[in-house]
Every structure is written in structure tokens, then in C-alpha cells.
Amino acid sequence: MADPGILDSPNRVARGAGALYLLVVGCGIIGAILADVVLVPGDTAASADRILTSGFIFRLGYVFLLTRLVFLTLLVLALHKLFGPVNRDLAAAMVAFVLISNAVIMVSLVLGYAAPLLLTSSDYSGLYPNEQWLAQVQFFINLLEQGDRAAQIFSLWVILLGFLMLKSGYVPRLLGMLMMIAGAGYVADFLVFFLIPQAHVQIAGFAFLLEVAFPFWLLIKGVDVGAWRSRALGSG
């Protein structure tokens, strides 16, 4: 049986989920932009110099990326409330994939934060010749991307969400199909990165465009309340 509180106002949960979805997107975009301001691909010395001179920007990017994980956790719990009545096992798996993904990304962010620690602490920088010191910095910076890409395998949660949307009957089936394609795109990025690294192909940007219509639909239209209640009461 669905939570009695949500039975009275499923669209309040839907609009909350839409707002959380946009906060997840916004924090991710801002965090990535701030990282791009500081990190120079292929130039460790330049990246190290920018981390030293723009340390606040680097740390601010971390704050946004970590905050994104908080919003993502709240989002998937709200989505579980909305789409749990369709299939509770798949909805639970969706939550589990997000939580595992968050843990992987958290570890990579913590390791990546070692780069500014190496650069700003005399206790570390004096241990190595300059070339080895910069190599250590680049290693930890690389862990950021490696961890983020590793976590993409858990984008299976996006596919599960799309399937639940498709079967729900209370959001447009087209949005569910687009969400499933987006999730497949994220997983494809994971496979390309680790199995064909020389390809330098990234599908995530296209996948994101397919995914982003959903939160706006939740905010503007919500769900078909009658269909949602019928599904929720029938799943008890």
C-alpha cells in the first residue's frame, strides 16, 4: 500500500522530485564548469599553478559536486515514492544503484582532493623531485575522471526509471522511452571509456538532452493523479 500522505497529493511529491532533479543537474553543471576553469587537460604544470592561484574556485567546485550527491539521494527517494507502485523491486534496485554510484563518486572526489593538499602542504611537496611531485598531482586529478566514469555503470538506475515511467500510465510513455535511451547512453559511455579508450567518444551530452525534459514535465504537469492513485491502491 502506498504511503497515505502521498495518496492525498502525489503531485506535491512529483514537483518536489522535479525541483530536486534540476538541482542535481545545476550542481553538476556548475561543479564541472568550475573544474574546467582550474584544470588544464594535458598540462599538469598549468593545472597545478591554477590550483595554487585559484584554490577557492577548485574547492567551490567540490562543494557543488558533493552537494549534488545529497540532492541525488533525496531525488531517488522521491522517485521511489512516485514509481514504487509500478514495481517495488525495480524501484528499490533504482535506489540501490544511485546510492552505490554516490559512494563511488564520493571516494573519487575525496581522492581527487588530494591534489590541492599535495600542492599546498610543504610536508608533502618536499618529499619528491618536481617531476614526481607533479606526476602525483596528475594521478589524483585523473582519479576524478576515472571514478566518475566508473560510476556510470550504475546509470542503470536511469534505465530502470525510464522503464517504470513507461509502464506507469501516469506520465507520457515518450518520456519513459527517452529516459531509457539516455540511461543506455550513459552506460555506453562507461563501456567506451574502459574498453575502447582510444575512441575518445562521449555520448553523455546527447543522453542528458533526452533526460532533461522529465524534470520540467514533473514541475509543470506533474502526474496523472487518477492513474497514479489507481496504480498505488492496486499495488497494496
DSSP H helical segments within 39-172, as ranges? 44-53, 55-83, 88-112, 114-120, 122-125, 130-151, 156-168
More confident residue, 234 or 70: 70
Q: Quick one: what percent of the chain has pLDDT higher than 70?
A: 89
**Which pLDDT does position 124 carry in this prediction?**
58
pLDDT at 3: 57
Nearest to 81 by CA among 182, 208, 231: 231
119 or 158, which is more confident: 158
Does pLDDT of 236 surpass 60? no
Contact between 162 and 177 under an 8 Å Cβ cutoff? The reply is yes
The three cell numbers of residue 66 are 558533493
What is the C-alpha separation between 173 and 162, in angstroms, rounded?
9
Q: Could you read off the pLDDT of 19-55 as tens digits, one per residue?
A: 999 999 999 999 989 988 887 777 777 777 777 787 7
Tens digit of each residue's pLDDT (9 = 90 or more) over 105-154: 999 888 877 777 676 666 655 555 566 767 777 787 788 888 888 999 99
Q: Give the pLDDT of residue 159.
A: 96
CA separation for the pair 29, 222 (Å, rounded)? 25
Cell output for 187: 552506460
**Res. 75 pLDDT band, cuts 50 70 90:** very high
pTM: 0.88
Q: Which residues of 101-110 are buried (b: 16+ CB within 10 A; e: fewer)?
A: bbebbeebbe
pLDDT of the residue at 121: 63
At 59, the amino acid letter reads R
The angle at the Cα of 211, spanning 57 to 41, to the nearest 5 degrees, equals 35
Domain segments of the chain: what residues?
A: 8-149+214-222
- Check residue 54 and report its DSSP letter: S
Q: pLDDT at residue 1 above 60?
A: no
